[in-house]
Amino acid sequence: MEQQRKVVTIPPTVSRFTASPIAAQKKRRVAAYARVSTDSDEQFTSYEAQIDYYTQYIKARDDWEFVKVYTDEGITGTSTKHREGFKAMVADALAGKIDLIVTKSVSRFARNTVDSLTTIRQLKEKGIECYFEKENIWTFDGKGELLITIMSSLAQEESRSISENVTWGQRKRMADGKVAIPFKHTLGFKRGPKGEILVDEEQAKTVRDIYDWFLEGLTPHAIAARLMENGVPSPRGKEVWHQGTVRSILSNEKYKGDALMQKFYTEDFLTKRQIPNKGVLPQYYVEGNHEAIIPPETFELVQLELERRKSKGGRYSGVDIFASRIVCGECGAYYGSKIWHSNQAKYRRIIYRCNQKYGGDKPCSTPHVTEEQLKQGFVAALNKLISKRDDIIAGLTEGAEILYDTTPLEAEKKRLWDEMCVLAEMVQAAINENAHVALDQKEYQKRYDELASRYDGVKAEHDKVAGQIATLVSTKTAAQQFIGTLRGLPQKVTAFNPETWGKLLDHATVCTDGSIRFTFRNGIEI
């Protein structure tokens, strides 16, 4: 006789949501997450509405206890990296402060499939559930993870599509020569009533100071220190200046009224990492796009000075206007400032001495010099230069148009550029053909290598010619600047001027007999 089985159901005694006895009146601690990805007024209204809606929605449930609405405003959902509200919510949940997270939709939670699933699994391991209202998905549900994977993938692809559309629009604007400036991060400019680029005179003064100080001999580091000492806010409105910020201002063509577009490009729409554009994508240069803060000739002079200092490697110093300008006539090393009698204030003074005086087998025989000697010597040399001013200006002006004429080089540069474009199209055509037609790969590789080699050769010639043009333009600019400064001096100079020192002098050499030889930027030595 078959034994009759009896199944008895034992009801659960612990809630799977709260891990407490079912009879207990413990409420689920519930938080909400709200995010909008732009700063527009329309989105801001949506942002405020989400906060209000979820606050009321959670408080209306008797079995829920309201914790908080975590928010991120004006932040993209493609990554959790900069979403401080999101990270704070997850941290609080993992710390045991939250039992349930409510949000509008999967796309509000994350547009990155990996981030979305990783976070949800991390929360599930700690017994924390998520509810996506729009899709009606509960992550503790058996089908929850599958649905979230699908919805997150769709949200990620939507982000990709939006990113590609935005990128296409931006590149089309660049190709049409429409310049956009990040006004919040660019010192000296402001947006006009019709979106045009206008000069902000208050900030432009700082830009002009930076260029003047640099030409006087200060380094970007020293300029940054002076700006902080004067209490000048950085382009982002911060108290701290970095030498990199100063250097970028000194090399930004927008300050002379031009604009180079597509200097960087976004590597991936998820990471949004910006990569320097080194020929991967076309660039567009717009001349005379807006009002200049720095005259073009001054800008070019600064670029020439940047290159000159770069050629000196790490030897250039700009702690003061005399640094890296005084040279030892015996060993060729720079003079540096030294403090004498630093422990006795009464006798304390600063002198300049060869930095390598005691670095060799025997000390350099060149003497030290004082700041006053340098200033008096420069004024005396400058007055001698002024006495020959007319002859010097005539010598620099005569034949300048022929000497600095770049017309033949410009024509050669254009010819090489056109040849580069043709070769680039041939390379691309070869790649496309290989992608769509079954070709002999050895033959294809040989043809590709030949075209690529020709392109590299022509590009090298083009870059060489472009460098020759830049050198001529910079030299011409330096000569014009020298003439302009020299012409503006009085018949006799009676006092030392740091600006004149910076603009006219190349370097000063201290000789073994104690005399100082001043070499001016036009090559004249006095």
Q: In this structure, are 308 and 187 located in the same domain?
A: yes
CATH number of the CATH domain containing 58: 3.40.50.1390
- Which residues fall within 8 angstroms of residue 468, CB to CB, at 6 or more apart? 409
The last residue of one of the domains, among 300, 315, 330, is 315
**In which band, very low, low, confident or very high, does the pLDDT at 208 lie, cut at 50, 70 and 90?**
very high
Q: Which residues pair with 66 in a beta bridge?
A: 30
Q: In this structure, are 118 and 207 located in the same domain?
A: no
- More confident position, 382 or 7: 382
Q: In this structure, are 254 and 142 located in the same domain?
A: no
pLDDT score for 42 = 46
Q: Is residue 174 part of a domain?
A: no
- pLDDT winner (highest mean) among 131-135, 167-171, 247-251, 424-428: 247-251
pLDDT for 194 beyond 50: yes
- 3 state DSSP class of 101: strand
CATH number of the CATH domain containing 434: 1.10.287
Q: Is residue 306 part of a domain?
A: yes
Q: In this structure, are 308 and 199 located in the same domain?
A: yes
Q: In this structure, are 412 and 511 located in the same domain?
A: yes
Q: Is residue 211 part of a domain?
A: yes
Q: In this structure, are 126 and 201 located in the same domain?
A: no
Q: Is residue 1 part of a domain?
A: no
**Contact criterion met (CB below 8 Å) for 210 and 203:** no
Residues in the chain: 526
Identify the burial level of 26 via C-beta atoms within 10 angstroms of its C-beta, where 0-12 means exposed, 13-18 middle and 19 or more buried.
Answer: middle
- More confident position, 128 or 281: 128
Q: Is residue 407 part of a domain?
A: yes
Q: Is residue 344 part of a domain?
A: no
* Secondary-structure percent of the chain, ordered helix, strand, coil, rounded to 5: 50, 15, 35
- What are the pLDDT digits (tens) for 105-164? 877 776 566 677 778 888 888 889 989 888 888 888 767 667 766 766 666 666 666 666
pLDDT for 430 beyond 50: yes
pLDDT for 304 beyond 90: no
Report the percent of the chain where pLDDT is more than 70: 81
- What are the pLDDT digits (tens) for 443-484? 989 998 999 899 989 989 998 998 888 888 878 877 888 888
Q: In this structure, are 415 and 275 located in the same domain?
A: no
DSSP letter at 326?
E
Q: Which of 241, 223, 225, 221 is nearest to 233 (CA)?
A: 241
CATH number of the CATH domain containing 226: 3.90.1750.20
Q: Is residue 3 part of a domain?
A: no
Domain span at residue 34 reads 28-160
Q: In this structure, are 305 and 189 located in the same domain?
A: yes
* Rounded Cα–Cα distance for residues 211 and 298 (Å): 8
- pLDDT winner (highest mean) among 36-45, 283-292, 493-502: 493-502
pTM for this one?
A: 0.56
- What are the pLDDT digits (tens) for 327-380? 999 888 888 888 776 566 666 778 888 988 887 778 889 999 998 999 999 999
Q: Is residue 357 part of a domain?
A: no
| Domain total of the chain | 3
Q: In this structure, are 514 and 380 located in the same domain?
A: yes
Q: In this structure, are 252 and 150 located in the same domain?
A: no
- More confident position, 217 or 429: 429
DSSP string of 182-245, one letter each residue: -GGGSTTEEE-TTS-EEE-HHHHHHHHHHHHHHHTT--HHHHHHHHHHTTPPPTTS-S---HHH
Region of poorest pLDDT, from 236-250, 268-282, 461-475: 268-282
pLDDT score for 474 = 75
- More confident position, 222 or 39: 222
pLDDT score for 411 = 94
Q: In this structure, are 445 and 496 located in the same domain?
A: yes
* Rounded Cα–Cα distance for residues 221 and 226 (Å): 9
Q: In this structure, are 280 and 138 located in the same domain?
A: no
